[in-house]
Amino acid sequence: MKLWLVALVIMVLAACEPKPAFVPDGFRDTNIPITSSTRFNPKRFAGDWRVIESFEQTPREVAISRVTFRPEAGGYRYIPQAAISPLAADAEGAVWPVYRIGQFGRLSPEAGDPIWVIWVDEDHRTAALGTPSGRFGMIINRTENLRSDRLKAAREILAFNGYDITKLRKVSP
């Protein structure tokens, strides 16, 4: 077969390849199945976290630099905390939803997108969070200083779950 004919066949087949299914305000190809962590432990996961990188796209959301998963009856209260900024007052005193804790770190609110713990390291120091819709995702760590190997692992897990990691924004150092 001539080389130009082989190239033409390859181009035709590539054109038939389905395109990634990104929701208009999402960051994940929803054709790719999303997973959650079998390593998740509710007691160890509870508490304060620093947002290292985030897919959030509005200025208010990027200002969220810390999150707390506070244990309450029925699950966790998810409390995002703004960095010191003019937007910080918006986050103070707000009523944040309670997420029921499901199997493998699948956190479900009464209404809205669930948050899944896609990956958490063995010691619950670093985690990658996301939603099946792809509208939310972040890498969180217990401290501001995140080792490069754990950051790399979190990014690889997000990419494996269909996230476009080129859209991640650095939030904390």
pLDDT in tens, 42-62: 999 999 999 999 986 655 555
Q: Where are the domains of the chain?
A: 21-170
DSSP state of 18: P
Q: What is the dihedral of CA 154, 159, 163, 167, to 10 degrees?
A: 70
Q: Characterise 134 by phi-psi region: left (phi > 0), alpha (psi -120 to 50), beta (else).
A: left
> What's the pLDDT at 172?
73
Within the chain, residue ranges assigned H as helices are: 3-16, 42-45, 59-62, 88-91, 148-160
Across residues 81-99, what is the average pLDDT? 65
Going from the C-alpha of 166 to that of each of 116, 132, 155, 170, the distances in angstroms are 20, 18, 10, 11
Lowest mean pLDDT among 74-78, 117-121, 159-163: 74-78
Note if the pTM is more than 0.85.
no
Q: Which fold has domain 21-170?
A: Lipocalin (2.40.128)
Q: How many CB atoms lie within 10 A of CB 97?
A: 16
Compute the Cα dihedral for 159, 165, 168, 172 and give only its sign.
positive
Better-predicted residue by pLDDT, 143 or 15: 143
> What's the pLDDT at 89?
47
- 3-state SS, residue 89: helix
pLDDT in tens, 105-150: 999 998 889 999 999 999 999 999 999 999 999 999 999 899 999 9
- Answer whether residue 81 shows pLDDT above 90: no
> What's the pLDDT at 14?
44
How many CA atoms, within 13 angstroms, populate the side-chain half-sphere of residue 26? 18
Better-predicted residue by pLDDT, 83 or 82: 82
Which residues contact residue 69 at a Cβ distance below 8 angstroms, ignoring those fewer than 6 apart? 45, 46, 47, 49, 76, 77, 78, 79, 99, 107
